[in-house]
């Protein structure tokens, strides 16, 4: 699979690093090969990177916005935060202290962060571990094994979120998972009743044989080749909310761990921190053999978000709902090459 042109970015290799004597722009361009492997809503990959004056500027690509499911560009900003975290980890793996400024120019809305390579330094072992997980992290929407996620691993995932100034509330009790699964199902029914939501979702689902470098191929949702061809039409045309809600409720209830990631506030900077925290959690989960996927319906439907927050019982607001567990490795989804997202 990774030999297909749209999957080629996943084949990035540390052995191709140009060397510490190479021009800084060349080193930064190489490190961006890891940034583009970050997750994003509907796999829109809503980022642009500009190389200027020895640094990378991270911009939101609002031409890839999801105005129905993400009207405030919160998920878009979090996705850029995930890419920024990959860039941080890659830099540290090669021995550089990452220098980061969030929202360096408040007057330029699309400029979310600036990144530069700081002095060479000794690298914490954890960064090498996270770096190795970057090309192995794939969203896994399949059912998970009924094997508990150990308390020690939950504590490590929680610490990973806290390291990025976010929080992670973990739920393993059947009663809690049932309550959260009910919110997921309610969100599905509300969203699929909206024709605008269905059109937006369908626009980012592609057949298994598509060579698109973005969006979600049918196999990512478990669709066969034949079903993947018809699915966008079916989603646009029919309200599938009842069936989708039943499926997602079952997935949520039978996932060994549900986790709500949140931040103290709900600003652009905190969305960027939430994205970095999310990617930290996802990479650590991958490194220890766990899979993860998203069940963000209770956050995307504004009336359900306070109800999820009351369950989480943490100060602040929920930004992401994850299900985490053990499962066979998932296939990667397409990515745009660095050349397609770099300017300058």
pLDDT, tens digit, for every residue of 306-324? Answer: 999 999 999 999 999 999 9
pLDDT at 2: 55
- Whether 142 shows a pLDDT value over 90: the answer reads yes
Domains of the chain, each with CATH number or no CATH: 5-138 (3.40.109.30), 151-193+239-325 (3.40.109.10)
Q: Is the distance from CB of 41 to CB of 75 less than 8 angstroms?
A: yes
Q: Directed axis angle between helix 125-133 and helix 74-93, to 10°?
A: 120
- Cα 105 from Cα 119, distance rounded (Å): 24
> Residue 202 — very low, low, confident or very high, per pLDDT cuts 50/70/90?
very high
Tens of pLDDT along 272-301? 999 999 999 999 999 999 999 999 999 999
- Whether 198 shows a pLDDT value over 70: the answer reads yes
Mean pLDDT to the nearest integer, 139-161:
97
CB within 8 Å of 173: residues ≥ 6 apart: none
Which pTM value belongs to this model?
A: 0.97
Mean pLDDT to the nearest integer, 191-208:
97
- Cα 46 from Cα 202, distance rounded (Å): 18
Tens of pLDDT along 120-137? 999 899 999 999 999 999
* Paired tokens of 236: 């646009």
Tens of pLDDT along 54-110? 999 999 999 999 999 999 999 999 999 999 999 999 999 999 999 999 999 989 999
Share of the chain above pLDDT 70, in %: 99
pLDDT at 344: 74
pLDDT at 3: 65
| Partners of 117 in beta bridges | 98
Tens of pLDDT along 153-162? 999 999 999 9
- Cα 294 from Cα 139, distance rounded (Å): 8
pLDDT at 1: 46
10 Å CB burial of residue 196 (0-12, 13-18, 19+) is exposed
């Amino acid at each position: 699979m990774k030999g297909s042109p749209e999957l080629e970015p996943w084949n990035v290799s540390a052995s191709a690093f140009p060397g510490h004597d190479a021009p800084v722009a060349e080193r930064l361009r190489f490190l961006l090969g890891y940034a583009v492997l970050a997750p994003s809503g509907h796999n829109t990959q809503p980022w642009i990177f500009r190389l200027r004056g020895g640094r990378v500027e991270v911009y939101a690509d609002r031409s890839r916005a999801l105005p129905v499911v993400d009207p405030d560009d919160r998920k878009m900003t979090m996705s850029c935060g995930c890419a920024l975290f990959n860039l941080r980890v890659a830099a540290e793996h090669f021995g550089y202290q990452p220098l980061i400024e969030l929202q360096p120019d408040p007057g330029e809305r699309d400029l979310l962060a600036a990144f530069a390579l700081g002095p060479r330094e000794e690298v914490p072992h954890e960064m090498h571990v996270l770096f190795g997980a970057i090309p192995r992290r794939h969203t896994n929407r399949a059912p998970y094994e009924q094997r508990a996620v150990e308390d020690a691993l939950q504590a490590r995932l929680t610490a990973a979120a806290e390291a990025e100034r976010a929080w992670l509330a973990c739920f393993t009790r059947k009663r809690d998972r049932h309550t959260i699964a009910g919110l997921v199902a309610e969100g599905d029914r509300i969203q699929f009743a909206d024709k605008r939501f269905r059109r937006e979702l369908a626009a980012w689902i592609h057949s298994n044989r598509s060579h698109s470098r973005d969006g979600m191929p049918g196999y990512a949702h478990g669709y066969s080749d034949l079903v993947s061809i018809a699915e966008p039409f079916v989603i646009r045309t029919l309200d599938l909310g009842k069936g989708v809600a039943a499926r997602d409720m079952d997935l949520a209830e039978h996932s060994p761990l549900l986790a709500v990631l949140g931040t103290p506030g709900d600003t652009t900077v905190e969305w960027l921190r939430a994205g970095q925290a999310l990617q930290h959690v996802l990479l650590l989960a991958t490194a220890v053999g766990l899979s993860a996927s998203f069940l963000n319906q209770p956050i995307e439907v504004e009336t359900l978000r306070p109800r999820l927050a009351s369950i989480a019982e943490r100060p602040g607001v929920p930004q992401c709902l994850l299900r985490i567990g053990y499962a066979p490795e998932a296939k990667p989804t397409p990515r745009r090459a660095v050349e397609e997202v770099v300017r300058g």
